[in-house]
Amino acid sequence: MEQPASRFLALDVFRGLAVCLMIVVNTPGAGAEPYPWLVHAKWFGFTAADWVFPSFLFAVGCAMSFAFQRPTTGRAFAAKVLRRAGLIFLLGFLMYWYPFVHRVDGAWELAPFADTRVMGVLQRIALCYMLAAFAVRYLAARELLILSLLAQRPMHGYELSKLIESGSGGAVRFKAASLYPLLYRLEHRGWIQGRWIEKAGQRRRRHYRVTAEGQKVLEQQRRTWAEFVAGVHRILEPGNA
């Protein structure tokens, strides 16, 4: 039985503030003239109302970073993402179509589909979530590279970056500004473990090694990446376009 997902107070508070701002923007009051900063900018400019949609996308991205830490199979991952995206899209569509019927000449008629808004806010969030989820799952090669090298032997960050650069022929390069935050995240997830080592005549460095949990993630990511690359090659082969 799976343990219930942990709640993150900061994310819950941010999500609540975004919902509060959305309510204020959408309900100025009957007959009331809305404040200019609660009206979307027509083209140039940026108002408080323009914060709502990006705020929801930011909350979705933060939630994804926590939810995707658990290793899972490609089939289960796809099913989960498609199910969530479908539910969010359907809820947004049904909320705009509600109450579905109206009275015409004393008789009830179904609201015309042409009067509904297919691409509403929730629907766009659903599509953004689905595309971002698959991009993170199948295009996040940096974690795979780091875990693969650390599975061979422990090493420090600078050595990692040089091995990746030389092994890829200079095609893949890591800068310290992106490498060390990634190492910190992997260590926070429990996939790698670091310890400080000081050698004679050298400054102290933090060496990392792959944990048992990280080894499981590495094996899963290798299979996922192999499936992705094989699928791309099948498409690129002549006659399969």
pLDDT digits (tens, 9 = 90+) for 195-222: 888 877 778 888 999 998 888 888 888 8
Residue 106 domain-assigned (yes or no): no
Domain count, the chain: 2
Residue 240 domain-assigned (yes or no): no
Same structural domain, 14 and 126: yes
Where among 89, 121, 139 does a domain terminate?
Answer: 139
User: Any idea which residue has 């969030």 for tokens?
Assistant: 125
Residue 66 domain-assigned (yes or no): yes
Residue 96 domain-assigned (yes or no): yes
CB atoms within 10 A of CB 186: 23
In terms of phi and psi (left: phi > 0; alpha: psi -120 to 50; beta: otherwise), the region of 28 is alpha
Residue 184 domain-assigned (yes or no): yes
Residue 61 domain-assigned (yes or no): yes
Same structural domain, 34 and 89: yes
Same structural domain, 38 and 88: yes
Output the pLDDT for position 27.
Answer: 81
Output the pLDDT for position 87.
Answer: 93
Residue 60 domain-assigned (yes or no): yes
Same structural domain, 95 and 184: no
| Contact present, 39 and 77 (Cβ < 8 Å) | no
Residues of the chain with pLDDT under 50: 1
Residue 1 domain-assigned (yes or no): no
Same structural domain, 23 and 129: yes
Same structural domain, 86 and 161: no
Is it true that the peptide bond before 99 is cis, omega within 30 degrees of 0? yes
Q: Which domain holds residue 50?
A: 9-100+111-139
Output the pLDDT for position 1.
Answer: 47
User: Any idea which residue has 């539910």 for tokens?
Assistant: 87
Same structural domain, 91 and 190: no
Query: What would the two tokens of residue 213 be?
Result: 């949990």
Q: Is the pTM of this model over 0.85?
A: no
Where among 139, 158, 193 does a domain terminate?
Answer: 139
User: Any idea which residue has 């953004």 for tokens?
Assistant: 128
Give the separation between CA 91 and CA 159, rounded to whole angstroms. Answer: 49
Output the pLDDT for position 102.
Answer: 72
For position 188, which CATH number holds?
1.10.10.10
